[in-house]
Structure 1
Amino acid sequence: MSLTAILPGRLGFGTAPLGNMFRAIPEEEVQATLEAAWDQGIRYYDTAPFYGAGLAEARLGTLLSAKPRDSYVLSTKVGRVILDEVESGDRELGEKGGLFEHGRPNRMLDEWTAEATERSINDSLKRLGVDRLDIVWVHDIAQDFHGDLWLQKFEEARTGAFRVLARLRDEGVIKAWGLGVNRTEPIELTLALDEPRPDGFLLAGRYTLLDHEHALQRLLPIAQEQNVSMVVGGPYSSGVLAGGSHFEYQQAPPEIVERVEKIKALADRYGISIKAAALQFSLAHPVAAAAIPGATRPSRIAEDVAALNETIPAEFWTELRALGLVSPAAPLPGGA
């Protein structure tokens, strides 16, 4: 089933920050943020066992388990099995070292076999307190976590997780499956397979105002041709496009800060928010079905809803392109 037929709107909620990404977030702040998202009409929620070693799923479950199951769409991911035992020392997370150092200390197994996939889904259902999932993404089988071993991980997923999820979809247990990654290459490989066929993909950080050229050249034309939709993760590039200081989960380098300042100066001149420009750009591609910014403060949800609905003059987009701040090939809102 296509993602556009499943998703209830163009704006969802990404729960990675609720796994204590970057900082330890008080429980009351988390629940106030989730309640704000619900009150603002958000009905698509994405999570993963990886986010704080199950912490984000458990926190999201506090909200969703009390809501009618047919009133929202829920996605989570497979690839990490959370164990009861505590892990000592630093986790090995490739380029993302220290990302969830404030999360739960439980040991995580990276495994995409059929058995691990089914176990992961069952564990997620328990943490979330729900009886079913709508979408399941195969998580992080890419270079940023596994370096030169990523193709080995991909093959494990192809013969394990892919087949399990395709079967569950065909049986009607889930509505859709795909990949949830921070790189385009695993999705390109998947779309080149004869089977199994994904319904969509969650691409984080690779279709934003700051980073979109590669996806435009390599991935999105294939996805459009195959009628496979994209959920845009990280539309604010880890926060730097929304007033934060992180890019790619690290402190933003000077060249990125400079680029953001140029975009913001143009946005200020047109009296619009850079957040609105970032969100609406990510959703302008025909393949984009929804975007899922994350938040840890209730006020951010209202900002996201306002950013989605803000009117941006066509002249802003025309000038953004003329200044070389966006690819000539990128579809722009309103056909600018």
Structure 2
Amino acid sequence: MSIKDKLPAGTRLGFGTAPLGNMFRAIPDAEAAETVEAAWQHGIRYYDAAPFYGAGLAEIRLGDILAKHKRSEYVLSSKVGRVILDEIEDVNARDLGEKAGVFAHGRPNKMVNDYTADGTMRSIEDSLKRLKTDHIEIVWIHDLAQDFYGDDWLSVFEIARKGAFRALTKLREEGVIKAWGLGVNRVEPCELALDLSEAKPDGFLLAGRYTLLDHQRALQRLMPDAAAHHAEIVVGGPYSSGVLAGGAHFEYQKASPEILAKVEKIKAIAKRHDISVKAAALQFALANPVVAAVIPGASRPERIAEDQAAVSEVIPDDFWREMRQEKLVAENAPLPIDKA
């Protein structure tokens, strides 16, 4: 099992398309198109989408632009677990739990959770149409353990184990897809999936749980277990919903005073060493050998160039030493200086 082998050679930076679903704000179609094209022009060849992002809006926008390029030159991942219906609803009234209002500017189509085998196949078929393609290389099972499930997330996991897990394993064995895994923002379902004796995932898209602001839980068990199973991780949300990139959100909500204070400490250290916080955020995630790639999102073309520059920006070793000394990163977190 290896996600890295399924990505374009040399890929470290991919493109997360949640913002293209009108995340937090309504993005003009032209701006969304320019952003995807900017990603292409900067050499990005891995794109991650999901039906949930604006009720299919992100997939539609991504498909429109990528259809202009050769399909053999890029890799797509999308997600299953939610099916988009033709029925229209009040977007602001959606019961999205912790993500309430995040995609209030998306399409008004109703979405239903469906982790069964049939729901998985329908979701993939619908995504193929929106993405204007005949295949998707990697499929993630989306949001199995959202907080709004409470303790019921285990029952949702069980439905997926009997449905989506087995359906995707069959598709992988048949060569229809190259890999599958979980796309979640909690580590517990990933840990549980690695313990299964059947239908094992190839890896995980872990959103928000391996960032400068939140990585301790992932380091305890998930990272070592993933390494032991050769299951690699794509890090989503490396800027923690934007607060590490100058935004105001953390975990899809307004950042708390405590989080903002921590961000200010990181900014101060970054300023002393004359580096960008974006560079620190991306290179922190990539320093872990289990991480296959990072996929920050962007809704403006100029952000793509910033992300690309951040991956290769030179960060002094003293920056990382100070971050560790100030306990802003866990003592056992792999850092770029540890590779020297």
* TM-score grouping bracket, smaller chain normalisation: over 0.9
In the alignment, structure 1 residue 126 sits paired with structure 2 residue 126: no
Aligned to 2:138: 135
Aligned to 1:270: 273
The 2-side partners of 1:79 and 1:64 are apart by 24
3-state DSSP of counterpart to 2:40: helix
3-state DSSP of counterpart to 1:256: helix
What amino acid is the match of 2:94?
Answer: R
The 1-side partners of 2:330 and 2:51 are apart by 35
Query: C-alpha displacement at 1:7, in angstroms?
Result: 1.3
What amino acid is the match of 1:193?
Answer: L
Aligned to 2:106: 103
In the alignment, structure 1 residue 310 sits paired with structure 2 residue 313: yes
Structure 2 contact 116–160 (Cα < 8 Å) conserved: yes
3-state DSSP of counterpart to 1:131: coil
In the alignment, structure 1 residue 169 sits paired with structure 2 residue 172: yes
The 1-side partners of 2:259 and 2:193 are apart by 31
Structure 2 contact 79–139 (Cα < 8 Å) conserved: yes
In the alignment, structure 1 residue 45 sits paired with structure 2 residue 63: no
The 2-side partners of 1:66 and 1:80 are apart by 27
Aligned to 2:325: 322
Within 5 A, what are the aligned runs for 1:183-332?
183-332=186-335
Query: C-alpha displacement at 1:225, in angstroms?
Result: 1.0
The 2-side partners of 1:275 and 1:133 are apart by 29
What amino acid is the match of 1:148?
Answer: D
Aligned to 1:179: 182
The 1-side partners of 2:46 and 2:115 are apart by 25
Aligned to 1:72: 74
The 2-side partners of 1:261 and 1:14 are apart by 25
Within 5 A, what are the aligned runs for 1:45-64?
45-64=47-66
The one of 90, 95, 101 aligned to 1:92: 95
3-state DSSP of counterpart to 2:112: strand
Query: C-alpha displacement at 1:21, in angstroms?
Result: 0.7
The 1-side partners of 2:337 and 2:167 are apart by 40
3-state DSSP of counterpart to 2:93: coil
Query: C-alpha displacement at 1:54, in angstroms?
Result: 0.5
What amino acid is the match of 1:4?
Answer: K
**Number of aligned residue pairs:** 336
> For each residue in 1:160-187, what CA deviation from the matched residue of structure 2 results, as whole angstroms up to 9, or x when unmatched?
0000100101110000000000100111
The 2-side partners of 1:95 and 1:33 are apart by 27
Structure 2 contact 320–337 (Cα < 8 Å) conserved: no
Structure 1 contact 19–52 (Cα < 8 Å) conserved: yes
Aligned to 1:115: 118
CA RMSD of aligned residues (A): 0.9
The 1-side partners of 2:204 and 2:312 are apart by 24
> For each residue in 1:230-273, what CA deviation from the matched residue of structure 2 results, as whole angstroms up to 9, or x when unmatched?
00000000111111111111111001111011111001000100
Q: 1:145 to 1:137 in 2, by over 3 A?
A: farther
Query: C-alpha displacement at 1:146, in angstroms?
Result: 1.7
In the alignment, structure 1 residue 83 sits paired with structure 2 residue 85: yes
Aligned to 1:3: 3
3-state DSSP of counterpart to 2:217: helix
Runs of 4+ in 1 over 2 A off after TM superposition: none
Structure 1 contact 144–182 (Cα < 8 Å) conserved: no
> For each residue in 1:17-51, what CA deviation from the matched residue of structure 2 results, as whole angstroms up to 9, or x when unmatched?
11011011100110010110000000000000000
3-state DSSP of counterpart to 2:283: helix
The 2-side partners of 1:144 and 1:24 are apart by 26
Structure 1 contact 200–228 (Cα < 8 Å) conserved: yes
* Percent of matched pairs sharing the same residue: 67
What amino acid is the match of 1:62?
Answer: D
Query: C-alpha displacement at 1:274, in angstroms?
Result: 0.7
Structure 1 contact 94–147 (Cα < 8 Å) conserved: no
The 2-side partners of 1:294 and 1:157 are apart by 27
Aligned to 2:16: 14
3-state DSSP of counterpart to 2:199: coil
The one of 149, 153, 157 aligned to 1:146: 149
3-state DSSP of counterpart to 1:208: coil
Gaps of 5+ in 1: none
Gaps of 5+ in 2: none
The 1-side partners of 2:111 and 2:300 are apart by 28
What amino acid is the match of 2:327?
Answer: G
Moved more, 58-67 or 290-299: 58-67
The 1-side partners of 2:147 and 2:16 are apart by 20
Query: C-alpha displacement at 1:145, in angstroms?
Result: 4.0
